[in-house]
Amino acid sequence: MKNYESLSCALNDLKKKGYDADFTTETDCLYCSDLDIRLNPDEFHVDEIIHVEGGTNPNDNSLIYAISSATGVKGTIKDMAQNPKAASIQKGVKNMVLVHGAFADGSSWAKIIPTLQEKGYNVIAVQNPLTSLEEDVAATKRAIALMDGPVLLVGHSYGGMVISEAGKDPKVAGLLYVCALIPNEGESVVDVVQKFPAAAGSAEGIHSHFAQDLPKSERDVIYATQTPWATRATTTKIASPAWKTKPSWCIIGTKDEMVTPELARAEAKMINATVLELSSSHVPMVSQPAKVAAFIIDSATKL
C-alpha cells in the first residue's frame, strides 16, 4: 500500500508554510516546486512533522522536520528527499569532508566517495589550492560550512596538517587521518617529518615510493595530475591542533614510504587514536578503497 497517509502531513505542512506542493498524478510523488524536491511514497515515509519554534522566515524549509518510520532519524524533508538513503544512518554523523594531500587533488578520494554516498553519507572532497596552509584551511572550512550538521573530517598525507587546524571548527565532531602528517603543539610539516625522514624522492617517486602498490596505469594518472605545492605551506606552525580536544582515528600504511609506519605509529600514540593498519603504500584509499571506506563509516557511527 502506498504511503499517501504519511506523506499527506508533509504536504499539508508545506502548504501551510506557503510552498507550492501537491501530489503528481503521473508519478505518484509528492512534489514541491519551490524546494525542487520529490518524495516517492514507496521509498520515503514520514510518521510526523515536528516544528522548530522561533523561526522567522515562513519559507525556511529548515523549520520542517521529518522522522523516518524505519529508523527514527531526524532530518529536513529537503535533505532526506535529496538523499533518501540518509535515513538508513541510525547513529553517528552523516556528513564527511575529505581533504587531499600535497601534489594531489580531490580525485584522490574518487574510489571511496561512491561507497560513502551509497550508504547515505553527505560527502564533499575539498579542492585545496596548496598555496599555503592558511588558504588550504580556509578552503576546508568553506566545505565544512556547507554541511548541515556535525562533520567527520578526513585528511590524507599533508591533509592531516590541514584538518588539525580546520578541525577546530565547532561543526567538526571527529578527525580521521589517512597516512597523514599530524602535528603536535607548535609544529609545522618540516617539524613533523624531521622525526622520521621519509624515503628520498626521485623522478620515479610516484612509482617507487608513493603509490608502488597500484597498477602502472593508475600511477601514471597520479603522476599526471600532480598539483604544485607551495613551500611556505611546509613551515607554518599549528597551535592547539584539533586532535587535542576531539576523537581521532588513524589509518597506517605498513608499506608507506612517505609517512613511514614508524612515524605514523608514533603519531597515533600521541593522539590516542583508534588505528587500522593496512598493507599498503601511501595511498590506501586508492589501492584498498573498500577497507578505507569501511573504516571511515565505522568511525562515523561512533560520533
Rg over CA atoms, the chain: 22
Q: What is the pLDDT of residue 207?
A: 87
pTM of the shown model = 0.72
**What cell was used for 122?**
553527505
Pairing status of strand 37-39 against strand 30-32: antiparallel
Q: Are 61 and 21 in contact, with CB atoms under 8 Å apart?
A: no
Q: Of all residues in the chain, what percent carry a pLDDT higher than 90?
A: 60
> Sorting pLDDT into bands at 50, 70 and 90, what band is 227?
confident
**The pLDDT of residue 1 is above 70:** no
**What cell was used for 270?**
600521541
Q: What is the pLDDT of residue 73?
A: 37
Taking residue 95's Cβ as centre, other Cβ atoms within 10 Å add up to 23
Distances (CA, A) of 185 to 123, 138, 168, 219, 249: 29, 20, 14, 35, 18
Q: What is the pLDDT of residue 195?
A: 81
Ranges 18-32, 57-71, 116-130, 187-201, most confident: 116-130
Q: What are the b/e assignments for 34-63, b being 16+ CB within 10 Å? A: ebebebebeebbbeebeeeeeeeeeeebeb
Q: What is the pLDDT of residue 228?
A: 84
Is the sign of the CA dihedral 294, 295, 297, 298 positive or negative? positive
| Spatial distance between the Cα atoms of 124 and 113, rounded to a whole number of angstroms | 9
Q: What is the pLDDT of residue 226?
A: 85
The secondary element (H helix, E strand) that includes residue 234 is none
Q: Are 44 and 81 in contact, with CB atoms under 8 Å apart?
A: yes
Q: What is the pLDDT of residue 45?
A: 46
Average pLDDT over residues 204-213: 87
**What cell was used for 123?**
560527502
Domain with CATH 3.40.50.1820 in the chain: 95-301
Q: What is the pLDDT of residue 250?
A: 98
**The pLDDT of residue 91 is above 90:** no
Q: Point out the least confidently predicted range of 44-48, 118-122, 258-262.
A: 44-48
**The pLDDT of residue 2 is above 60:** no
What are the backbone dihedrals phi and psi of residue 227, each rounded to the nearest 5 degrees, phi first? -115, 135
Pairing status of strand 46-51 against strand 64-68: antiparallel
The four Cα atoms 156, 173, 150, 93 give a dihedral, to 10 degrees, of 80
CATH classification number, 95-301, choose in 2.30.110.10, 3.40.50.1820, 3.40.50.300, 3.90.1150.10: 3.40.50.1820
User: For the segment 99-131, what is each residue's pLDDT rounded down to a tens digit?
Assistant: 999 989 999 999 999 999 999 999 999 999 999
Q: What is the pLDDT of residue 95?
A: 96
Ranges 70-74, 176-180, 205-209, most confident: 176-180
Q: Point out the least confidently predicted range of 9-23, 44-58, 231-245.
A: 44-58
